[in-house]
Amino acid sequence: MRGSSEAFRFLDKEISLCYFLSILERKKARMEKKTFGVGLFGLGTVGGGVAELLLNENWKSKDYEFVLKKVAVRHLNKRRSISLPSRLLTTNPREVLEDPEIDTVIEVMGGISPAKEIIIEALRKGKNVITANKALLARSGSLIFKEATENNCYLGVRASNIASYRLIESLAYSPSKIEELIGIFNGTCNYILTEMERRGESFSNVLKKAQEIGYTEKDPSDDIDGYDTAHKLVVLLGLTSGHFLPLESLFVEGIRKITLQDILFAKELGYRIKLVAIARRKGEELEARVHPALLPIGRGLARLDGIENGIEIRDETGVEVGLQAPGAGRYPTATAILEDLVCMAEGRKLVSPYQREHLTLKKMEEVETRYYLRFNALDQAGVLAKISGILGSYNISIKAVLQKGERESERSEFVPVIMLTHKAREKDVQNAIRKINSLSVIKGETLLIRVEEGIF
C-alpha cells in the first residue's frame, strides 16, 4: 500500500511539473510564430489564387506563417496566371506527400481520382487537408471525415461551397436545428436562366455564350444537370448534421428542359425560374432535392441575378437568415482556403458538437409542393375540361390557368396551356400527367416545374 501511494505521490509531482511545462510551452508558442509547410495540388484559377495569397506579404498573420513548399501540377510548362520558382513545381504527387516538411495539403486539382487517393494518403500520413472538391466530398465525405478524425488532422472544406461557407460554422455550432433551407448554389445555371430572360434567347444559345466566356466547363453537364448543386447540398447537410446522404438518394433535376417560353409564362404569373437546392425537415423526415423552381418575383433568392449565389435558412426556433454570396471564382475560393488555414492553425474543428438525429429521407413521390404545368394542347373546346378533370381525379386543384393563343407554328393547332396547382403530392401529379400525356388532344411531353415560396 505504502509503495503504491508513494508512486502516486511521484506521479503527482510529475503532473505538476508537466502542467508547469505545458504552460511554458503554450506561452512560448504564443510568442513564436507557428510555421506550417504547405503542399498544393493544382495550379489553375483557384490554385493560382492560393499561391498568390500565400506568397504575398499582405496576407501574413501575426501568429502563423504558411510556407508554400511544393506545388504538384500536371504540366510543368503550361501558361499560368502566376509564375512560380521552378523549384516549387513538380509533376510527381509523391514529392508532396512524402515531404516531411509539408504538414498541410491543399487540394484544388478537382476530379475524383487521384484527388481521393491523395487526400486519404495525406490524412493517413498525419497531414492536414484543405479541399475545394465538392464532387469528391459529396461521394466520400463520410470516409474522408472519418480518416481526418482518426488521424487527428484538420479537414478544411470551406472552399467546397463558397455560397454558404460563411454560415456553415454558425450552423454547425448553433444548438438550434435547421428546419428549412433553400439555396442557389450554381452560378452557371443562374447565369443561363438570367440571360435567357434578359436577352430573350434560347437555353442553347445562352449556354454557348457561357462556355465562350468561361462561366462553365467544356462539358457543362455537372452544372446544368444539377449535380454540382446536389454535391454542395450533400456537403452542407453533412457538415451541419454529421450525416452525409448518399448522392444517389437525392432527387436531382437540371435546367435543360426550361424554355424561354416557360421563363416568360412564369414572369407573367409573378415568378422567376431558378435552380434550387431544398432541404426541409418535418419530424424525423427529411426532404432533400435539387430542381428548377418557380420563386415569387422580387423576393429572396428570386432576386439573384447572373452568377450570384445565395441561401436562406430557417431554424426550429423560427430564426431566419439569408446570405447572398459569390458562387465561385479565384478570390472567393482562395480566401476561403486561407480562412481554413487560419482556423487549422487555431486548432479549430469544423464538425458540429451536436448529435443531430439521423433523419429518414422522404421519397420524392411523397413530397408535396405546388406545380407549374405546361401542356401542349389542341386549341379546341373541351380540352381544358379534360385536363382539369384528370387533375381533379388525382386530388390536384388548380390555382391559375394561362392559355396563350400562340400556336407552336402557323400550321400547328396546338397551343401551350399553363396551369399552376395548389399543393399536391408528387406521385399524384406524375400519374395525372402520364394520363394527360396519353390524351389525343395533347402533343408531346408536359413540362412540370415545381413552385416554391422560399423563406424571405
Which one among 63, 379, 408, 428 touches a second copy, defined by CB under 8 A?
63
Q: Interface mask (CB under 8 A) for a second copy, residues 137-166, using x and -?
A: ----------------------------xx
Q: How far is CA 180 from CA 56, 130, 228, 295, in A?
A: 41, 28, 20, 15
Classified as helix, coil or strand, 182 is strand
- By C-beta, is 222 or 312 nearer to a second copy? 312
Which one among 65, 339, 379, 408 touches a second copy, defined by CB under 8 A?
339
Strand partners, 281: 286
Residue 85: asked if its preceding bond is cis (omega within 30°), the reply is no
82 binding a second copy? (CB under 8 A): no
Which one among 39, 187, 327, 332 touches a second copy, defined by CB under 8 A?
332
297 binding a second copy? (CB under 8 A): no
Residue 452 marked as a ligand binder:
no
Q: Interface mask (CB under 8 A) for a second copy, residues 309-328, using x and -?
A: ------x-xxxxxxxxxx--
Name the pairing type of β-strands 368-378 and 424-425: antiparallel
List of residues 6+ apart from 369 with CB closer than 8 A: 423, 424, 426, 450, 451, 452
95 binding a second copy? (CB under 8 A): no
To the nearest whole angstrom, how small is the minimum distance from the Cβ of residue 136 to a second copy? 23
- By C-beta, is 322 or 403 nearer to a second copy? 322
Which one among 5, 83, 355, 409 touches a second copy, defined by CB under 8 A?
355
184 binding a second copy? (CB under 8 A): no
Q: Which stretch binds a second copy (CB under 8 A): 11-19, 211-219, 225-233, 366-374?
A: 11-19
To the nearest whole angstrom, how small is the minimum distance from the Cβ of residue 317 to a second copy? 4
22 binding a second copy? (CB under 8 A): yes
- Amino acid sitting at position 46: V
CA max distance for the chain: 107
Q: Do residues 455 and 314 make contact, with C-beta atoms less than 8 angstroms apart?
A: yes
Which one among 53, 157, 239, 420 touches a second copy, defined by CB under 8 A?
53
Nearest to 387 by CA among 435, 443, 456: 435
DSSP alpha helix (H) spans, 157-226? 165-173, 187-199, 203-212, 221-224
Burial 85-110 (b: 16+ CB within 10 A, else e): eeebbbeebebbbebeebbbbbbbbb
C-alpha 124 chain-centroid distance: 26
Examine the residue annotation and report whether 232 is marked as an active-site residue of this protein.
yes
78 binding a second copy? (CB under 8 A): no
- By C-beta, is 145 or 227 nearer to a second copy? 145
To the nearest whole angstrom, how small is the minimum distance from the Cβ of residue 322 to a second copy? 4
List of residues 6+ apart from 10 with CB closer than 8 A: none
Residue 134 marked as a ligand binder:
yes
Which one among 46, 136, 167, 295 touches a second copy, defined by CB under 8 A?
167
Which among 232, 282, 363, 435 is annotated as catalytic?
A: 232
Name the pairing type of β-strands 64-72 and 34-41: parallel
441 binding a second copy? (CB under 8 A): no
Between helix 134-150 and helix 227-241 the angle, nearest 10°, is: 30
Where in 283-366 does DSSP place strands (E)? 285-296, 308-315, 320-326, 360-361
Distance CA 128, CA 123 (A): 6
Distance CA 360, CA 377 (A): 39
- Residues near a second copy (CB under 8 A) are 14-15, 17-18, 21-22, 53, 59, 61-64, 165-167, 169-170, 173-176, 298, 303, 315, 317-326, 329, 331-332, 334-335, 338-339, 342-343, 345-349, 353-355, 456
Catalytic residues: 232
Binding residues for L-homoserine are 217
Binding residues are 134, 217
Binding residues for NADPH are 134
